[in-house]
């Protein structure tokens, strides 16, 4: 059986790994083991960091325009291979092939943005800040940086991290999810083909052993993480305790608020896609819908039930499927347990997806679309992130109550409002306590030249992902104050014993 190997210093075969632990990689559509992935030891991590530390100075010394050319060639290669990458991604994750293409494309948008690094990494300059004194700043790379990425976007999120890290002159080590590890290795191969020097980008597979080793290694300067909130908080605490710069993105429970004046045809289509696309395995999915007013709730429920009945669940390579299986048997069991909990807590189970099976693929990790109504804020199934094809209706009497629901939740990643009322939309934007807001946009993931990041337990750290925020995260500022004597002259003599000013 094929073993997915680490990508050390330019090749999957560049170093014999210390670790002999293997983990299964499943085809979620069949439930069968498709391949295995090798898990790193502490020694493997140390070797990757050492190689990255050795390679980074020469890469940083390369002018930013040349680094941008490597990224541009990398972008071109991904576009050439996007079909095979999407099929590979789909086979390990379970999302449909068209959805996998979207995964890759949203990552490519950030690579494209980072091709402008000669401009993005520019500092500032002030001529004549004082008598004969000029001041300028520059943005320097940090050194060896790390990305720890989740299973749900095995291309997009690694690309969100590696592109700004590499563009700004850092070396980068990626620790992807062991559940779908093949696409990250393929990205490493394409980076090498694009001209990236050996050792500047490496892929180390693993579990908690490798994560802890990366967080503890003194030569790792920064870590970017995406995963569940509990782990994000632990990564942030351990990394910052070790003196590292950390951005750690966590979970979500995004709300879609529907006002009585909304375009119901469009809102229902948007909610169905946002709630059930990718089997709900998105941190920007829309698992909670909040209709304002009983009439709105009844009409929305009726339309949602009719829309759910038309959804097609299929294998990942079924081009006509709306969504495919979830990633693993363990994750399926977790989702089913939350549906059970919702029933036990007294929510009304309107559509039950627990017993869904696909003929010929009975062992696949499928969960059917599920809909709850009359969910209450104190229910555990509402408070927790389910991360599956489960949509919950929480009824509100007024817009302020709906805003409070989203604002008071422990997560603050994304929120959407469906309305034709500009005044209500403006008040919503100003008052809701959530990091990313959509107005008639169900999944408000910002474009690549803005930035991605939630509030509260959805994000730990001071910097968002991609956009100019990522350039700041992966660089440090050096400020130079300089004074030169006139030609043939001399700097005024005499010691100054008071704080210097530019007056």
Domain coordinates in residue numbering, the chain: 3-250+458-480, 255-439
In a 3-state reduction of DSSP, which class is residue 225?
strand
CB-based burial label for 446 (10 Å; 0-12, 13-18, 19+): middle
Of how many residues is the chain composed?
A: 503
Give the span between the Cα atoms of 353 and 160, in whole angstroms.
Answer: 33
- The SS3 assignment for 127 reads strand
Residue 348: partners with Cβ closer than 8 Å, 6 or more residues away: 372, 373, 374
Contact indicator for 212, 41 with CB cutoff of 8 Å = no
Indicate the SS3 state at residue 240: helix
| CA-closest candidate to residue 110, choices 160, 152, 158 | 160
> Which positions of the chain have pLDDT values less than 50?
none
Sorted by sequence, the CB contacts under 8 Å of residue 4 that are 6+ apart come out as 25, 35, 36, 37, 38, 181, 182, 185, 205
204 close to 217: Cβ distance less than 8 angstroms: no
Q: Residues 228-266: pLDDT tens digits?
A: 999 999 999 999 999 999 999 999 999 999 999 999 999
Question: What's the rounded Cα separation, in Å, for the pair 236 and 215?
Answer: 9
Q: 421-424: list long-range contacts, CB under 8 Å, 24+ apart.
A: 421/259, 421/261, 424/259, 424/399
Residue with tokens 């850092």: 170
DSSP 3-state assignment of 187?
helix
Short-list 327, 326, 319, 323, CA closest to 310? 323
Known active-site residue 283: yes
Task: Place domain 255-439 in its CATH homologous superfamily.
Answer: Aldehyde Dehydrogenase; Chain A, domain 2 (3.40.309.10)
Q: What are the φ/ψ torsions at residue 453 (nearest 5 degrees)?
A: 175, 140
Give the residue among 84, 107, 296, 69 at the shortest CA–CA distance from 186: 84
Structure tokens at 218: 């003194």
Q: Do 165 and 172 meet the contact criterion of CB atoms below 8 Å apart?
A: yes
What is residue 99's predicted lDDT score, i.e. its pLDDT? 97
CATH code of the region 3-250+458-480: 3.40.605.10
Residue 240 CA to chain centroid, in angstroms? 20
Cα-atom radius of gyration of the chain, to the nearest Å? 25
The pLDDT of residue 478 is: 96
5 and 13 in contact (C-beta within 8 Å)?
A: yes
What pLDDT, on the 0 to 100 scale, is given for residue 13?
Answer: 55
Q: Could you tell me the two tokens for 214?
A: 């990366």
CA end-to-end distance (rounded Å), the chain = 73
DSSP symbol at 280: G
Of the listed 114, 115, 145, 283, which one is catalytic?
283
Q: How far apart are CA 101 and CA 5, in angstroms?
A: 24
Q: Which two tokens stand for residue 404?
A: 């409070």
Query: If we measure between CA atoms, which residue out of 140, 124, 185 comes closest to residue 158?
Result: 185
């Amino acid at each position: 059986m094929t073993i997915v190997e680490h990508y050390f210093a330019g090749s999957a075969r560049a170093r014999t790994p210390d670790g002999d632990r293997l983990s299964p990689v499943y085809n979620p559509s069949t439930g069968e083991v498709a391949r295995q992935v090798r898990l790193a030891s502490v020694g493997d991590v140390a070797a990757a960091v050492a190689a990255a530390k050795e390679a980074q100075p020469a890469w940083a010394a390369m002018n930013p325009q040349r680094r941008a050319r490597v990224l541009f060639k990398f972008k071109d290669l991904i576009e050439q291979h996007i079909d095979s990458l999407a099929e590979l991604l789909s086979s390990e994750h379970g999302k449909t092939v068209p959805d996998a293409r979207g995964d890759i494309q949203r990552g490519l948008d950030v690579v494209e943005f980072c091709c402008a690094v000669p401009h993005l990494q520019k500092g500032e300059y002030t001529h004549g800040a004082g008598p004969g004194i000029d001041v300028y700043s520059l943005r320097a790379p940090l050194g060896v940086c790390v990305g720890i990425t989740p299973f749900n976007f095995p291309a997009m999120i690694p690309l969100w991290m590696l592109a700004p890290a590499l563009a700004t002159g850092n070396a980068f080590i990626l620790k992807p999810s062991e559940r779908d590890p093949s696409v990250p290795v393929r990205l490493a191969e394409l980076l090498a083909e694009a001209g990236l020097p050996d050792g500047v980008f490496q892929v180390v597979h693993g579990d908690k052993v490798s994560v802890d080793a990366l967080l503890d290694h003194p030569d790792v300067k920064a870590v970017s993480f995406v995963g569940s909130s509990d782990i994000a908080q632990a990564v942030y605490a351990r990394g910052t305790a070790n003196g590292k710069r950390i951005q750690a993105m966590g979970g979500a429970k995004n709300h879609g608020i529907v006002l009585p004046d909304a375009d119901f045809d469009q809102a229902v289509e948007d909610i169905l896609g946002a709630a059930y696309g990718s089997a709900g395995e998105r941190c920007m999915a829309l698992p909670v819908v909040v209709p304002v007013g009983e009439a709105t709730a009844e009409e929305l429920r009726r339309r949602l039930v009719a829309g759910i009945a038309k959804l097609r669940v299929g294998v990942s390579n079924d081009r006509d499927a709306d969504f495919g299986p979830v990633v693993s048997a363990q994750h399926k069991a977790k989702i089913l347990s939350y549906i059970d909990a919702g029933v036990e807590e007294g929510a009304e189970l309107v559509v039950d997806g627990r017993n869904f099976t696909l003929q010929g693929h009975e062992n696949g990790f499928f969960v059917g679309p599920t809909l709850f109504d009359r969910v209450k804020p104190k229910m555990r199934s509402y408070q927790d992130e389910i991360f599956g094809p489960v949509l919950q209706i929480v009824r509100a009497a007024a817009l302020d109550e709906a805003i409070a629901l989203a604002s008071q939740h422990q997560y603050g990643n994304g929120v959407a409002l469906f309305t034709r009322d500009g005044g209500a939309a403006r008040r919503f934007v100003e008052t809701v306590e959530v990091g990313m807001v959509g107005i008639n946009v169900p999944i408000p993931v910002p474009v690549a030249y803005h930035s991605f990041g939630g509030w509260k337990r959805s994000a730990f750290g001071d910097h968002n992902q991609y956009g100019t925020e990522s350039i700041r995260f992966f660089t440090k500022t050096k400020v130079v104050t300089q004074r030169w004597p006139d030609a043939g002259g001399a700097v005024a003599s005499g010691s100054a014993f008071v704080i210097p000013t530019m007056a």
